[in-house]
Amino acid sequence: MRCDMAKTSKAVVEASSGNVFADLGLADAEELGTKLRLCVVVNRILEARGLTQVEASQVLGVTQPKVSALKAYKLEGFSVERLMHFVTALEHDVVIEIRPKVKKGEAKVMVVSAA
């Protein structure tokens, strides 16, 4: 006997706001999005350098389990400031640019990486 649910149910698709955390209704969505983008930058630099977790922990000044959490994108326990410090510890500049918003709606924080 075959169950063919495709004929009886319809998928509901919603347009994304561009921030998955906001789409999930999380109160700190902007901060989580910023942390995620910074974490992506840090992980890309670590990968490009071919560092082990132990080597990365020495460069970043944290324990190996913290590097493991960072590589798994477990953002709790990492502030935006700390993640920016990791970027500078990996010999990359962090540039903060403040400018008028260009679109209607709330102003936002963006992380743009050249790494």
Tokens 């998928």, residue located: 11
Residue 9, pLDDT above cutoff 80: no
pLDDT band at 85 (very low <50, low <70, confident <90, very high): very high
0.75 surpassed by pTM: no
42 contact partners, CB below 8 Å, separation of at least 6: 70, 83, 86, 87, 90
DSSP 88: H
Alpha carbon distance, N-terminus to C-terminus of the chain: 54
pLDDT band at 4 (very low <50, low <70, confident <90, very high): low
Which of 4-8, 40-44, 78-82, 102-106 comes out lowest in average pLDDT? Answer: 4-8
Q: What are the boundaries of each domain within the chain?
A: 23-98+108-115
Output the pLDDT for position 79: 96
pLDDT in tens, 19-62: 666 666 667 778 888 999 999 999 999 999 999 999 999 999 99
- Residue 115 in contact with residue 37, Cβ under 8 Å? no
User: How buried is residue 39: exposed, middle or buried, by Cβ count under 10 Å (0-12/13-18/19+)?
Assistant: buried
Q: What is the torsion angle, in degrees rounded to the nearest 10, for the CA atoms of residue 79, residue 18, residue 104 and residue 39? A: 20
Average pLDDT score over the chain: 85
Token code pair at residue 88: 């500078």
For the domain with range 23-98+108-115, which CATH number is right: 3.40.50.1220, 3.30.360.10, 1.10.260.40, 3.40.30.10?
A: 1.10.260.40
